[in-house]
Chains A and B, each alone.
Chain A
Amino acid sequence: MRTRLLAAWLALGSLAAALPAAAVMPDEILADQGLEHRARELSKELRCLVCQNQSIDDSNAPLARDLRVLVRERLKAGDSDARVLDYVTDRYGDYVLLRPPFKATTWLLWIGPFLVFAIGAAATAVYLRGRRGVAAGADTAPLSEDEQRRLDALLRKD
């Protein structure tokens, strides 16, 4: 029982230790801390094309490593962050950007959720307005004389 508990704790401990892992190797890291920080931030924006849902900062794929090194080289050569991203998208397309840019081919992607919300809100408004009309008796004909008399009779009973 006790060994089992110990094993469980060990397993948990190793999980916790494994969490904050990035794929950057010590030999890739730049001496200039400012540049290295920018390189890390840029690497998080760039998709690894081999594993697709990881950034190149996370991925151990050889291509991800090559791109990390490339990003650092461009930064050392004095490129701005935007220039570095352009350099990569010129070769691999917008697909490598984990945050797709807003343009003609992507507007539906960005606006879509708001559009669906607006349609839903409009539909709800129309529906509710319709119900309020029913509650207020707007679309029911007024009682005829005969109906009114019967209603009065019923109400008078108690």
Chain B
Amino acid sequence: MRRLLFILPLLLFVGVAVAFYLGFNRDPREIPSVLIDKPVPEFALPALPGYKQGLATADLKGDVQLVNVFASWCVPCKIEHPVITRLSREQGVPVRAINHKDKAEDAIAWLKRNGDPYAGIGQDLDGRVSIDWGVYGVPETFLIDRQGRIRYKHVGPLSPEVVERDILPLVKELRKG
């Protein structure tokens, strides 16, 4: 009993040290989404002027696909764009987009300049649908399963590492099931 009392501070210290070690290795900017494993929100966004395909809840059922939230004014969006393009054109994962709080002409010019790999783009002028998706920092990317449930979310620009490590394995698994 007495000996236990002497070890107690040491045990407490080890506990606190482990908690801090784990805590400091986490990125405080990454907030776990509450929407994981939930169906995508009910929404319908119009297409950009001159574009055929907008984005609505019904588009997100039937295939495993990505939803990318982007804007022409967002610099990291431009950085991740080649990665998104490769996913859509070479790696066979359809990508749809929410164009977040953008001017239509800016968005169209941006797509002309950087390429348009998207299977459909919904215009979210006031950012309200983005709020329904729990978006707080563009770019954000969601992976949707066949049943139209959100299975994964990445905040910030997609890197080839994230694609290899998280997205492609999960796409493969979700396509099987």
Contact = CB atoms under 8 A, between A and B. Distances in A.
Interface stretch (A23-31, A34-42, A62-70, A138-146): A62-70
Contacts of B101: 62
B34 A50 contact: no
B35 A91 contact: yes
Contacts of A49: 31, 136-137
Contacts of A95: 31-32
A123 B5 contact: yes
A147 to B, nearest CB: 29
Given A49-B136, A62-B101, A63-B136, A89 B31 contact: no
Interface in B118-162: 126-128, 131-134, 136-137
A93 B137 contact: no
A114 interface: no
A93 B32 contact: yes
Given A49-B31, A52-B28, A62-B101, A91 B134 contact: yes
Contacts, number: 42
Interface in A57-75: 62-63, 66-67, 70
Contacts of A62: 101, 127
A9 interface: no
Chain B's interface size range is 20 to 34
Contact of A93 (B31, B127, B132, B133): B31
Given A62-B101, A66-B127, A123-B5, A92 B31 contact: yes
Given A49-B136, A92-B136, A66 B34 contact: no
Nearest to B29: A52
26 contacts: A49-B31, A49-B137, A50-B136, A52-B28, A62-B101, A62-B127, A63-B127, A63-B136, A66-B126, A67-B131, A70-B128, A70-B131, A89-B34, A91-B35, A91-B131, A91-B132, A92-B31, A92-B134, A92-B136, A93-B32, A93-B33, A93-B34, A95-B32, A119-B12, A123-B8, A126-B5
Q: Which 10 residue pairs across A and B have the least CB separation, nearest first?
A: A49-B136, A93-B34, A91-B134, A95-B31, A92-B134, A66-B127, A63-B136, A91-B131, A91-B132, A50-B136
